[in-house]
Amino acid sequence: MNVFFLVSIATFLTFFLGDFPGWFDSGQLALGIQTLGVTHAPGQPIYVLIGKVFALFPFGSIAFRTSLLSAFCCAGIALCISFLISTLLRNLQDCEKASLFKATFYLPSMFFLLHPSIGLQATRTEVYAFMLLLTLLNLVFLILAHQTQDARHYFSASFSLGLSLGVHPVMGLAFLPGFILMILCFQKSQRVRLFFQTTIWIGIGLMIYVYLPLRASTQPLLNWDDPVNFRRFFAFITAKDFQSSFHKVSQYSAASSAASIVQFLDTWTKLFSVPSMLLAFWGVVTLFYRGKRIVAGLLLLLLISSFSPWITLNFVLGNPDVHGYASPSLALLFVLASIGAINLFQRLPVRQEISYILGSLLCLSTLYKPISGGVATFAAHGGEDAEILSRYLDHAPQAGSIFVASDHWLFPLWYRSYIEGRRPDVKIVGEGLLPASWYRRQINKKYRYPFPSGDKWVEKAKFNSGEKEQFLGHEGQLNSLRDLFVEKCREQKKPDYFSIKKTVCGFIVWQWTEQMVQFGDIDHAIQLLEDSINTPRSQASCPKIRPIEIPYPLSRDYADPFLIEADRLESELMLTYLGCGHLGLASNLFAQKSQSLDVLLLYAALLWHHGNQQKAFEVLNLQMDLTRGKSGVLALAKATFFWMARHEDQAKKEIKIAKDILGKNDRGVLQLEKHLMDH
């Protein structure tokens, strides 16, 4: 039955898999799996090796096969979820003979896969589904070890933990506190011995890292950081090169611990509804009531440790990788919520199987809003969009070269060149990786050209055929590909729940328009922005953008630079209109996009500049559905207008609100407070 369930779920998910690698690291991982290369830190050796087994399947493209691994992992995740719920509610052996229970055993976990954060990991080449499966296997083994007091289950959990640390150390370490708790709950006379034994098994799991220097010594096509000696190996597995560009602390959450927690709750009510959290709380109470206090403590401890990064780091829900970080917390919450919901119906005079069904449906109803968008998220892996962008390779000059902005655009082109065998004559270089010496060495060897050393060597490089092309530029054949890309972004009939495709599409379009403005092609930049946000073309002409002064910071000034928010293009177009002097177009854009905070703030500044202060205040007081961080930005804008209007008492009230959210050291808050003190 379990095998049939695994195959059925994986087969269902194959209908959503793409034939080309999707967003961000998918292209790199697919390339690394196919070539058995060394992928970005920490190398993910076990993921690459198991992925290679799937890459050997005789059907579909390489990207399809490597994504199939994620689909099978999600099927395994569903099986673990079902086992945990049924085991923690009652002994599985007591009800496994009931045919109705057999039919409903997998019901809760099937609902879990429909959550958009989980469904997103099921259909793309990424490590998060694999990592979540290892995490849940750890949990299953620990609970079995506690129930049976069999040390062999601890050894299995230890080995699985070691493997998970070789896939994603940050997520793996979040499981460590729960692991230590369960060892402390083992028989007192055997704890020390068990600790040393489990440490050995964790070390055995970590030995998979030996693959990295061995494989790097053969100089594979993908050889990130070239970890052939101990110094490079240690720097690689500790992600030393990633530290400066990993996740930046959110300015929204820098105010205080209380403000950080409020921001955290605001984010998680979108991921997991308030009623579902109440059911999860009741699930904890149920476990305590049934005498499973240690297991309840384990789940709570794991929840706290998995939540900790969300309080200190800035996570944009439009970033697909963020939902991979959320997946362990979501799985734990879902298990607890299902236990709580089913327990409510077990108190009624109905058969256990009926209570299982009704509880699962209750849990589903509380998560209806996010789950209703789950199927649309299955197709949000970005494979079709990345494939369109990589077609530029076919139009490159003969024996020419392409310079791309970052590794996110390098590897889709490498995939098309080295996996699909397209245009092997073209040299493809990632400018964002050029500061790394290991990458320069590989480029030197690969293209057999003695490049000068230094961060700026790309500016001096001259290939034999010469022309330097910008992948995200605006000339030549890319015009048609750009239009096709925007069309595909716009034609999505039902947006995914977290606007992931809109966010990533907006990020790419924003990069295009930035370059267009830099090259002086402002008219085309305006057209691209208008097309992207589905606004009628204005046929506006703008020879030069004049700088404009805004009396307060915008929401975009606080955003993570790695990935813009979904409504960034609206404010980008508004700024362009204002800079070009098209005030009428700016007013029309506000009428269409008044729910975009930055558009509203820019329009209010325009009104104030032209002496319409009352109307500017009315605009700032429009009802909007804002996150806590954006509410702080709005409060700062109101405080600025009150100060400019000499209403000091009202200005101080709004500054206090902004300070509580943005922090007392926020530059905008400090500047306005100084103005008030001077006045």
Tens of pLDDT, residue by residue over 391-419, are 778 877 777 777 776 677 788 888 888 88
Query: Residue 298: which of 79, 140, 456, 443 has the closest Cα?
Result: 140
Measure the CA–CA gap between 126 and 458, rounded to whole angstroms.
31
Do 460 and 527 fall within a single domain?
Answer: no
Q: What is the pLDDT of residue 69?
A: 92
Question: Domain total for the chain?
Answer: 3
Residue 648 lies in a domain: no
Percent pLDDT > 90 in the chain is 11
pLDDT at 253: 41
Examine the domain organization and report whether 400 and 346 are in the same domain. no
661 falls within a domain: no
What does the pLDDT read at residue 312? 59
Token pair 């399947």 is found at 57
Both tokens of residue 161? Answer: 């933990």
Residue 671 lies in a domain: no
Residue 78 lies in a domain: yes
Residues 415, 369 within the same domain: no
Burial of 575 (0-12, 13-18, 19+ CB in 10 A): buried
Of 110-114, 154-158, 215-219, give the lowest mean pLDDT range: 110-114
Q: If phi over 0 gives left and psi between -120 and 50 gives alpha, with beta otherwise, what is residue 351?
A: beta
- Specify the pLDDT at position 542: 86
Are 464 and 485 contained in the same domain?
no
- Please give the average per-residue pLDDT across 168-183, as a whole number: 85
Q: How many helices (H) and strands (E) does the chain have?
A: 35, 3
Domain boundary residue among 470, 496, 522?
470
Q: Which of 327, 349, 378 lies at the terminal end of a domain, its last residue? A: 378
Among 12-21, 227-236, 281-290, the least confident range: 12-21
DSSP β-bridge partners for residue 402: 428, 469
Asked if residue 455 lies in contact with residue 434, where contact means CB atoms within 8 angstroms, the answer is yes
Q: List, in order, residues 6 or more apart from 7 with CB less than 8 Å away.
A: 75
**Which percentage of the chain shows pLDDT scores above 70?**
83
Indicate the SS3 state at residue 223.
strand
Write the pLDDT tens digit of every residue in 569-593: 888 899 899 888 888 888 888 888 8
What's the pLDDT score for residue 232?
A: 85
> Quick one: pLDDT at residue 121?
87
pTM assigned to the model: 0.84
Residue numbers of the domain that contains 355: 2-378
Q: Per the domain annotation, does 642 fall within a domain? A: no
Same domain, 463 and 482: no
Tokens of 251: 């300015």
Is the same domain home to 373 and 387? no
Buried/exposed code over 15-42 (b: 16+ C-beta within 10 A; e: otherwise)? ebbbebbbbbbbbbbbbbbbbbbbbbbb
Q: Indicate the residue among 453, 470, 487 that finishes a domain.
A: 470
pLDDT score at 359: 84
Q: Which of 447, 474, 476, 475 is nearest to 461 (CA)?
A: 447
Question: Sorting pLDDT into bands at 50, 70 and 90, what band is 105?
Answer: low
CB distance 557 to 602 below 8 Å: no
Rounded to whole angstroms, the Cα distance separating 248 from 267 reads: 17
- For the chain, give the longest Cα–Cα distance: 82
> Are 122 and 170 found together in one domain?
yes
Rounded Cα distance between 501 and 357, Å, is 34
Give the amino acid at 241: D
Q: With DSSP H G I counted as helix, E B as strand and the rest as coil, what are the percentages for the chain, rounded to 5?
A: 70, 0, 30
E-state strands within 197-354: none
Q: In the predicted model, is pLDDT for residue 367 greater than 60?
A: yes
- The answer to whether residue 530 scores a pLDDT higher than 90 is no
Does a structural domain hold residue 315? yes
Whether residue 609 sits in one domain with residue 552: yes
Order of strands across the sheet with 427-430?
427-430, 401-404, 468-470
d(CA 528, CA 509): 8
| Mean pLDDT within 41-54 | 92
Do both 450 and 545 map to the same domain? no
> Which token pair is 8?
């059925």
Q: Are 616 and 604 in contact (CB under 8 A)?
A: yes
Report whether pLDDT(46) > 90.
yes
- Please report, as a single letter, which amino acid is at residue 369: K
Kindly state whether residues 442 and 583 are assigned to the same domain.
Answer: no
Query: Same domain for 465 and 541?
Result: no
Q: Does 147 share its domain with 286?
A: yes
Domain annotation covers residue 289: yes
Residue 635 belongs to some domain of the structure: no
Residue 449 pLDDT greater than 70, yes or no? no
